[in-house]
């Protein structure tokens, strides 16, 4: 990710609708599992960026972050986050087997050259009975300068992600697209931007200045949709959410989706 992307992220993530919705997702979907017998246990946030999700996770247990970017680590220090492993997610996760009761990997997997290796590493450091929460960008048709600026390697489909996790010792609790209502407008904006973007210096969508009233409306709409994720899955969307549970070694079930 470009260094200026971290700076704009740190500045906007308290208010910008996308970042606010991501925090709402953690609070209202993931917290259901993090507060279910996991309180006081260890949680790992892989690719914790500037740390706003990690601050939320501290309320549910002892939260560790893993981040490689020196620019991001500057902002983690500003948030007084100290349990940070400076490590590249392209390599092995620097923790022992069966360490964490929960692992979050939110919009990180798409940055990794060997994404399957990172999946295996998350399973390794997750305790049996623990949870892995992932979000990734969805559908190649949405590829745009936004992805280039954020150094994405790929976008995913639900089918691809389920294929990737099928060989691992995991039960799929949930696999759903989200940011569905806004997917068509986002597709239109990104395709329009592609014609006029600076190919040498691409910027993410976060550099688009939004009127306060419009940002608030998007925020409310996005949060309403995320709330609905509690009850059903969406058939398409800009992003994909997976909630996975690590099984005991003697369990052979594949789980329900």
**Average pLDDT score, the chain:** 88
Domain boundaries, the chain: 3-246
Strands 239-246 and 62-67: unpaired
Region 142-156 average pLDDT: 91
Burial class of residue 41 (count of CB atoms within 10 Å of its CB; 0-12, 13-18, 19+) = middle
Instruction: Quote the pLDDT of residue 254.
Output: 43
Instruction: Please say whether the structural domain 3-246 has been given the CATH code 3.30.450.20.
Output: no
Region 82-99 average pLDDT: 92
Q: How confident is the model at residue 138 (pLDDT cuts 50, 70, 90)?
A: very high
pLDDT of 34 over the 90 cut: no
Q: What CA–CA distance (Å, rounded) separates 54 from 196? A: 36
Lowest mean pLDDT among 85-94, 202-211, 212-221: 202-211
Give this prediction's pTM. Answer: 0.90
pLDDT of 196 over the 80 cut: no
Instruction: Quote the pLDDT of residue 249.
Output: 67
Which has more pLDDT, 235 or 209?
235
Q: How confident is the model at residue 40 (pLDDT cuts 50, 70, 90)?
A: low
Distances from the Cα of 37 to the Cα of 32, 42, 48, 61, 187, angstroms:
10, 12, 23, 10, 40
Tokens of 205: 């969508």
pLDDT of 39 over the 90 cut: no
pLDDT of 23 over the 70 cut: yes
Instruction: Quote the pLDDT of residue 166.
Output: 85
């Amino acid at each position: 990710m470009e260094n200026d992307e971290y700076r704009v992220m740190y500045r906007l993530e308290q208010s910008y609708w996308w970042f606010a919705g991501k925090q709402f997702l953690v609070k209202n979907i993931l917290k259901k599992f993090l507060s279910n017998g996991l309180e006081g246990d260890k949680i790992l946030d892989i690719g914790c960026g500037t740390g706003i999700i990690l601050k939320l996770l501290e309320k549910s247990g002892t939260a560790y972050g893993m981040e490689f970017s020196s620019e991001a680590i500057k902002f983690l220090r500003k948030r007084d986050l100290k349990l940070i492993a400076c490590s590249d997610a392209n390599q092995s996760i620097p923790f022992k087997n069966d360490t964490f009761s929960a692992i979050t990997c939110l919009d990180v997997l798409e940055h990794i050259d060997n994404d399957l290796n990172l999946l295996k590493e998350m399973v390794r450091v997750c305790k049996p009975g623990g949870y892995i929460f992932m979000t990734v960008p969805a559908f190649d048709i949405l590829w745009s300068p936004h992805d280039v600026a954020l150094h994405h390697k790929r976008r995913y489909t639900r089918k691809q992600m389920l294929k990737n996790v099928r060989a691992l010792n995991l039960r799929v609790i949930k696999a759903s697209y989200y940011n569905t209502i806004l997917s068509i407008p986002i597709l239109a904006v990104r395709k329009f931007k592609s014609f006029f973007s600076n190919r040498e210096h691409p910027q993410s969508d976060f550099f688009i200045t939004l009127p306060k009233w419009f940002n608030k409306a998007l925020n409310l709409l996005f949060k309403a949709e995320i709330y609905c994720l509690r009850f059903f899955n969406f058939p398409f969307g800009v992003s994909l959410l997976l909630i996975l549970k690590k099984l005991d070694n003697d369990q052979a079930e594949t789980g329900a989706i």
